[in-house]
């Protein structure tokens, strides 16, 4: 649904229209003529407000012919809107913090309950049950503890933590577009809730796991190396 055009355009612009080639709708970037000084501009709503408020800045000059009482009203309304946006951002941030606390508590409770039920079930079941069947039942039980609302909350918390990790580690945003990233997230999501696992340890990552990955690459290259003896190879 397209955004509605802000009322400030009709109030302070003699005429206005959506800029050609603009992909936005509603307010967006528009061509307009100032009602007070008659100058032509192609800007967004923010630049319009900066101009007709008599303040200017942000790449646009201040209107010198706007009546002082109108400029004062615009400035007051703009400050009020900014304060409202800031209050909403703070409220949303506080909501996220509370939501993350609730999710941590819910996950801990669900994990404890699941461990207790699995332990009771193992005591009652025959030990001859194949491990694959046990894993299938565990997956079913795990999903039963996760309500739809809790699942959405956990996904939101995960998105927040992913963003924080990318920002704090100064990673490129393009990393989330790679297949490697998607495979990693998919593999992590398949791990059942647990309190004693926090991913790969530093020493294992830079030591044994690095050596293991090298061995896997060597095995993948082995068929190609065998072909070198028959077909030759270019300089690598």
Answer whether residue 133 shows pLDDT above 70: no
**Is 222 inside any structural domain?**
no
What is the per-residue pLDDT for 33? 94
Percent of the chain with pLDDT over 70: 71
Q: What is the mean pLDDT of the chain?
A: 79
What is the per-residue pLDDT for 9? 87
pLDDT 10s digits, 140-187: 555 555 577 778 888 888 888 899 999 999 999 999 999 999 999 999
Answer whether residue 83 shows pLDDT above 80: yes
Same domain? For 40 and 103 the reply is no
What is the per-residue pLDDT for 165? 92
**Is 12 inside any structural domain?**
yes
Same domain? For 19 and 60 the reply is yes
Same domain? For 15 and 49 the reply is yes
Q: Which residues of 98-137 are buried (b: 16+ CB within 10 A; e: fewer)?
A: eebeebeebbeebbeebeeeeeeeeeeeeeeeeeeeeeee
Closest Cα to residue 118, out of 139, 101, 91, 97?
139
What is the per-residue pLDDT for 108? 57
**Is 126 inside any structural domain?**
no
User: Which range has the worst mean pLDDT, 16-20, 131-135, 180-184?
Assistant: 131-135
Same domain? For 109 and 180 the reply is yes
**Domain boundary at 150, 171, 190, which?**
190
Same domain? For 146 and 95 the reply is yes
The whole model's pTM is what? 0.41
Same domain? For 57 and 13 the reply is yes
User: Which range has the worst mean pLDDT, 38-42, 220-224, 230-234?
Assistant: 230-234
**Is 1 inside any structural domain?**
no
Same domain? For 40 and 96 the reply is no
pLDDT 10s digits, 88-128: 877 777 776 666 666 556 555 555 655 565 566 555 555 54
**Gap between the Cα atoms of 153 and 103, Å rounded:** 7
**Gap between the Cα atoms of 54 and 63, Å rounded:** 5
Beta strand 13-18 pairing with 30-34? antiparallel
**Is 99 inside any structural domain?**
yes
Range 44-63 average pLDDT:
88
Look at the alpha carbons of 36, 39, 42, 46 in this order and tell me if their dihedral is positive or negative: negative
Domain count, the chain: 2
What is the per-residue pLDDT for 123? 57
**Is 104 inside any structural domain?**
yes
Same domain? For 19 and 98 the reply is no
What is the per-residue pLDDT for 97? 66
Write out the residue range of the structural domain in which residue 62 sits: 7-66
Which helix or strand (DSSP H or E) is residue 31 part of?
strand 30-34
Phi, psi (5° rounding) for residue 70? -70, -40
Q: Which band of pLDDT confidence, cut at 50, 70 and 90, is reported for residue 44?
A: confident
**Is 82 inside any structural domain?**
no
Same domain? For 62 and 154 the reply is no
Same domain? For 57 and 93 the reply is no
Answer whether residue 1 shows pLDDT above 50: no
Same domain? For 105 and 186 the reply is yes
What is the per-residue pLDDT for 24? 53
**Is 146 inside any structural domain?**
yes
CB contact at 8 A, 11 and 51: no
**Gap between the Cα atoms of 32 and 63, Å rounded:** 14
**Domain boundary at 25, 51, 66, which?**
66
Same domain? For 31 and 108 the reply is no
């Amino acid at each position: 649904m397209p955004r509605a055009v802000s009322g400030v355009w009709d109030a302070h612009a003699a005429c206005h229209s959506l800029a050609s080639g603009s992909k936005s709708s509603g307010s967006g970037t528009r061509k307009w003529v100032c009602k007070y000084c008659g100058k032509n501009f192609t800007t967004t709503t923010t630049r319009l407000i900066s101009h007709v408020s008599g303040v200017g800045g942000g790449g646009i000059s201040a209107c010198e012919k706007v009546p002082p009482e109108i400029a004062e009203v615009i400035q007051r309304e703009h400050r009020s809107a900014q304060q409202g946006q800031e209050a909403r951002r703070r409220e949303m941030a506080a909501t996220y913090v509370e939501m993350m606390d609730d999710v941590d508590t819910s996950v801990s409770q669900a994990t404890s309950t699941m461990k207790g039920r699995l332990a009771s079930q193992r005591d009652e079941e025959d030990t001859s049950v194949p491990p694959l069947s046990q894993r299938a039942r565990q997956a079913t039980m795990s999903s039963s503890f996760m309500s739809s609302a809790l699942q959405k909350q956990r996904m939101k918390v995960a998105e927040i933590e992913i963003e924080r990790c990318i920002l704090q580690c100064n990673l490129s945003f393009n990393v989330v577009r790679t297949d490697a990233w998607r495979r990693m997230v998919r593999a992590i999501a398949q791990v059942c809730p647990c309190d004693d696992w926090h991913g790969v340890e530093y020493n294992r990552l830079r030591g044994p796991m690095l050596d293991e990955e090298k061995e896997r690459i060597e095995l993948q290259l082995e068929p190609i190396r065998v072909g070198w003896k028959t077909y030759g190879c270019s300089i690598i």
